[in-house]
Amino acid sequence: MAGPLPLAFVRSYVDVDDLPHVNAEVALVGRSNVGKSSLINALARRKNLARTSKTPGATQLLNAFELAPEGSGRWVMDLPGYGFAKVPKAEQRRWATMLNGYIEERENLVSIILLIDGAVGPTALDLQTVEWLSSLGRPICYVATKADKVRPSKSKKRRNELISRLNVARSDVAWVSADKGTGIPELRVHILDLLGNPKLGNS
């Protein structure tokens, strides 16, 4: 299994047009309290690499992280969440425009890592996002977060419900916990594979 991903923060971008061309990107997408920033920290095994907050909506820009070595052009993007952020409607619309522009226009985006709250299951907004991404032909990697928040007695039922609502195979969903480390090593390998890590035999 892969060790911590050697990620370094590059910078935050306001507009997709400001982003430079890079070799390959994966982007974390999900509701504003699903744990995108916490997941990035867990993947890198660093507490403060990505900003986290108990208040939904901490991520407000297109935040870029690069896999070592510097200049590799293999990026992990942390995008603004959709849903519950307590910000003015105008700001929510700005985030939506930013998110839509990035996902629709970014040519070197190889996969969306769509985070679903495993303790809640896919919401109507999550399912709407899946439909939208599918209509764009964007590859999706499904990740169910907060696996440690699901009681063991309800785990099987919750997993069955989640894959049924997403209409995907059980093997298509990775269950992870940023707090406990569950599923993190396997997800690191998958991300490296998506980004074309030479050590995994990709070019």
198 has pLDDT over 60: no
Peptide bond between residue 139 and the one before it cis (omega within 30 degrees of 0):
no
- The SS3 of residue 24 is strand
Rg (CA), the chain: 16
Alpha carbon of residue 135 to chain centroid: 19
Over residues 39-66, mean pLDDT:
78
pLDDT digits (tens, 9 = 90+) for 125-151: 899 999 999 999 999 999 999 999 999
Over residues 176-197, mean pLDDT:
94
pTM: 0.88
Domains of the chain: 7-194 (3.40.50.300)
